[in-house]
Amino acid sequence: MSVKVAIYEDNEHLRKSLSHLIMGDDSLEFCGAFPDCSDIMENCTEVKPDVIVMDIDMPGISGIEATYLVKSKFPEINILIFTVFEDRNKVFDALCAGANGYLLKKLNAIKIIEAINELNNGGSPMTGEIARMVLDFFSKNYTPKNNEYKLSPREIDIVKCLVKGKSYKMTAEACFISEGTVRSHIYSIYRKLQVNSKSEVVIKALHERLID
């Protein structure tokens, strides 16, 4: 079953290039490209994309604001930030808004397709520099906290896999369990941490030092 992809990008040339890229891949289904996010909630209701490729700097509603709006009503939609911004504040604002992945626009076409499919399979793709930025930020003055959320040892293992950007399949292989069991543990993790997405798990785990 193909992955339904929508694009939000104000640069016309890049928007058209991304559209042709999506339409040219058999694993993906193109379901619209838009120059701004003014009608994004209506679009999501009508089209129901699996993945949104989202720019940050757009007229009117920014990509970060739009990400928060979409995730608040459609938590199942995966949002891939695709931007020129390497600013730490932009990165963390996007992740805290619910973005599931963060790529810089210098990536080639093959990497973009791979990231979309990885995202749809439960991964959290990030450009290398962005992943390093996240890890460096949270590694300073690191002191693990008590397990106040009462996560089980298996749930902690799964959280570690999510922080590393592993998909459900990769997590299952690393923990020697089925993907179905991984999903059951993730639902339990969501409940205990009071979050609604994998990106929120990652942010909370790193910010509150839930893993070592």
Q: Would you write out the chain's pLDDT as a tens digit for each of its 212 residues? A: 789 999 999 999 999 999 999 999 999 999 999 999 999 999 999 989 999 999 998 988 899 889 988 988 898 999 999 988 777 778 888 887 888 888 888 878 888 899 999 888 888 888 877 777 776 665 554 455 556 788 898 999 998 888 777 888 889 999 999 989 998 999 999 999 888 877 778 777 877 778 76
Question: What are 136-172's pLDDT values in tens digits?
Answer: 665 554 455 556 788 898 999 998 888 777 888 889 9
Q: Give the chain's end-to-end CA distance (angstroms, integer).
A: 38
- DSSP tag of 126: B
Distance of CA 148 to CAs 133, 192, 198, 203, Å?
27, 10, 19, 16
Which CATH superfamily includes the segment(s) 3-128?
Response regulator (3.40.50.2300)
The rounded distance, in Å, linking the Cα atoms of 95 and 132 is 14
Q: What is the pTM of this model?
A: 0.67
Q: Where are the domains of the chain?
A: 3-128, 141-207
Contact (CB, 8 A) for 195 and 205: no
Residue-level pLDDT at 140: 58
Residue-level pLDDT at 146: 54
Q: Is beta strand 3-8 parallel, antiparallel or unpaired with respect to 51-54? A: parallel
Residue 173 burial (CB count, 10 A): 14
Domain 141-207 has CATH 1.10.10.10: yes
Residue-level pLDDT at 141: 47
Residue-level pLDDT at 14: 92
The rounded distance, in Å, linking the Cα atoms of 105 and 108 is 8
